[in-house]
Amino acid sequence: MSEEIRLFAGDCTTTFEGAREQTQRGHVVVVVKPDGTVLVHDADGYQPVAWLTRADSVTVEADDSGFAVTARTTDQTLRVVSNAATGHASYPATSAGVPVGDCPDCGGALVRTGGDVRCLDCEASYSLPAGAAVLDETCDDCGLPLMRVERGRVFECCIDYSCESLDDLVREAFDREWTCPDCGSDLRVRRAGGGPLLAGCDGYPACDTAFTIPAGVVVDDCDCGLPIFETARGRRCLDGTCDAFHSE
């Protein structure tokens, strides 16, 4: 999401009240970030001379005569007041991430940041499943990047679920493929709310057995009858607590 970073510069008096009480004066630059973090930088070193991270409230008063920035948490206050202001300005800011292509809607840069792919211009955002790798190839239908995801087998699909659903692909591959170890009913592939993909008993609610489908590929069968997955952390049974499974 595009927000604003605000900058203030001038001869300022900085007062901090709290764990490290101090008052300083000098020509500084004050950075007010969208998350409520306030940083005061002088000419020396790379660290700010005063700061308050993710304040509960930030108040800015600015006009042609000067400015005052006040940031507060429950037990700390940072206040910067200009004695002689040099200037102030606001600039758009977004999350920074690894470039993964161009947005097919607006032509802006797509970046991967955290668990999302976001456009820096139109602010379109696409959530990625755990363990997903974004590929260089693009979707033939919408032009967005494809992703590689392991959920029982390797799937390559669009990062936009509304274009191509990973859930549908996994369901087509594994729905009713495995048997509930508790009651013998089929395990159905489903997603509970916004949670992970599950292999849940078809006998629900009489039987509420369900297993999260891990990020990995099926490589064998466990003695309990469920599949064994090869994951980034090694082999494991679909049932992560299975007593019958012995890792190689």
Q: Residue 23: beta bridge partners? A: 15
How far does CA 163 lie from the centroid of its chain? 21
Better pLDDT: 1 or 83: 83
Range 46-66 average pLDDT: 93
Range 149-164 average pLDDT: 95
Length of the chain as a residue count:
248
Short-list 162, 175, 104, 178, CA closest to 138: 104
Q: What is the pTM of this model?
A: 0.76
pLDDT band at 91 (very low <50, low <70, confident <90, very high): very high
Better pLDDT: 243 or 222: 222
Written as six digits, the tokens of 201 are: 């008993």
Residue 233 has pLDDT above 70, yes or no: yes
Three state DSSP letters for 48-115: CCEEECCCCEEEEEEECCEEEEEEECCCCEEEEEEEEEEEEEEEEECCCCEEEEECCCCCCEEEEECC
Q: What is the pLDDT of residues 9-38, one digit of tens each?
A: 999 999 999 877 899 999 999 999 999 999
pLDDT at position 114:
82
Q: What is the pLDDT of residues 35-48, one digit of tens each?
A: 999 999 999 989 99
Residue 170 has pLDDT above 50, yes or no: yes
Q: CATH number of the domain at 3-93, please?
A: 2.70.180.20
pLDDT band at 248 (very low <50, low <70, confident <90, very high): very low
Q: What's the chain's average pLDDT?
A: 92
Sequence ranges of the domains in the chain: 3-93, 98-164, 170-237
Residue 219 has pLDDT above 80, yes or no: yes
